[in-house]
Amino acid sequence: MKQDKYIAIEDFCTSHNIASDFMMELYEMGLVDVVFQENLQYLPIKQLPKAEKIVRLHLDLDINLEGIGVVTELLDRIQTMQDEITALHNKLRRYE
């Protein structure tokens, strides 16, 4: 496992002042990926923006885990729609 592609869950939780149990609950709900290696848990670096967004939703807005699941699903759908709109705009530009 390449260390530059992962961050230890313990380090992430310490820097964000959250319990590691919270991250494991997110993992169990399928909201973040966790890699298990030598009795330690690691968060892929590519998951950092999503994990930090989830932590902000929980800490700043006091949204519970179920609510976070709903919010992240809706945000993912919005992003997909925005990507589709951008692709359609690009297609339309060819005909202008």
Q: What do you get for the CA distance between the two ends of the chain, in Å? A: 49
CATH number reported for the structural domain that contains residue 35 in this entry: 1.10.1660.10
Predicted TM-score (pTM) of this structure: 0.80
Give pLDDT tens digits for 44-56: 999 999 999 999 9
For residue 31, the SS3 value is coil
d(CA 11, CA 35): 14
Q: Which helix (H) or strand (E) holds 26?
A: helix 20-28
Count of domains observed in the chain? 1
Structural domain including 66 reads 3-94
d(CA 53, CA 59): 10
pLDDT value of position 95? 86
Residues with Cβ within 8 Å of residue 88, at least 6 apart in sequence: none
pLDDT value of position 4? 74
> Long-range pairs for 73-80 at CB < 8 Å and ≥24 separation?
none
Give yes or no for a contact between 50 and 32, defined as CB atoms under 8 angstroms apart: yes
Instruction: Please list the ranges in the chain whose pLDDT falls under 50.
Output: none
pLDDT value of position 3? 61
The rounded mean pLDDT for the chain is: 93
pLDDT value of position 90? 95
